Copies of this chain bind each other. A is one copy, B any other.
Amino acid sequence: MSENLALERFLARLLLRSSLDEDERRAILSLPFEVARHRAHRDFVQPGQNTDFACLVAEGLAGRFDQFADGHRQIVALHLPGDMCDLHSVPMPHTGWGIESLSDTRVLLIPHRALIDLSVRYPAIAFAFWRDTVADGSVLAKWLAAQGRRSARERLAHLLCEIGIRMEQAGLGSREHFTLRTTQAQLADVLGLTAVHLNRSLQALRAEGLIETNGREFRILDTHALCGLAEFDPEYLLLHGGDRTSRRG
């Protein structure tokens, strides 16, 4: 039952960007799955293996990462409840990256076969999946740009703006008040910083009166200034569809 909630969230995420009819919605909601639970800090998908299922986050927080020989890692995507971590593994089952649980997490494992069948049967679903992949890529591109050209403080500000909106969208808080269940070391892995410098960047934002934190609870005190510092424009999250397309004719 709370498992159905996860599929509903996934469907809701798809419907943000794509329109699906009754049949297609039902098809999504009746996807088969198995449930897996993971405590925090577990790499539940190892880098460099072939998978035959995709992971839908039902609860908690997951991160896709790339790891280097020296053990350092970079998190290249954050996945909130309702996000399919590796929809991209459906067309390309060999994944070079791993997925870790950032907090305690419940995940639905959905067989690739079922997702493939749906997208062959329903072109609109194929488009919806493709769109979802594009949206992930758009976030990735934004992160890359920030990583390459902005300071630590600016990147952190940008990430907080993004997470606020995504949390709100997922029904897990508001864009100005949410709980982010990660350690500072994990956030540093997202932003390409050391834990020490992330900590100092957080302090800077607090000192400027832009945010307030209480444990892992974040409150954004000055949205305007934070977005300004980050040059944040939610456009890239692709939240208002693009669906002129998927129907025949």
Which A residues fall within an 8 A CB radius of B?
A: 17, 48, 64, 66, 68-69, 72-74, 76-77, 88, 90-94, 96-97, 112, 116, 119-120, 123, 126-127, 129-131, 133-138, 140-145, 147-150, 191-192, 231, 233, 235-236, 238, 242, 244-246, 248
Contacts and interface: CB of A to CB of B under 8 A. Distances in A.
A180 B129 CA distance: 35
Contacts of A129: 130
24 contacts: A66-B142, A66-B144, A72-B149, A74-B148, A76-B144, A88-B134, A91-B127, A91-B131, A92-B134, A93-B242, A94-B242, A97-B141, A119-B123, A119-B126, A123-B123, A126-B130, A137-B140, A140-B140, A140-B141, A143-B144, A144-B144, A147-B147, A147-B192, A148-B191
User: Chain copies in the assembly?
Assistant: 2
A192 B149 contact: yes
A136 B137 CA distance: 8
Contacts of A64: 141
A128 to B, nearest CB: 9
Nearest to A190: B148
Contact of A231 (B68, B73, B245): B68
Which of A64, A93, A96 has the most B CB atoms < 10 Å from its CB?
A: A96
B120 A235 contact: no
Contacts of A127: 91, 119, 126
B242 A69 contact: no
A155 B15 CA distance: 38
B92 A135 contact: yes
Contact of A149 (B68, B112, B150, B233): B68
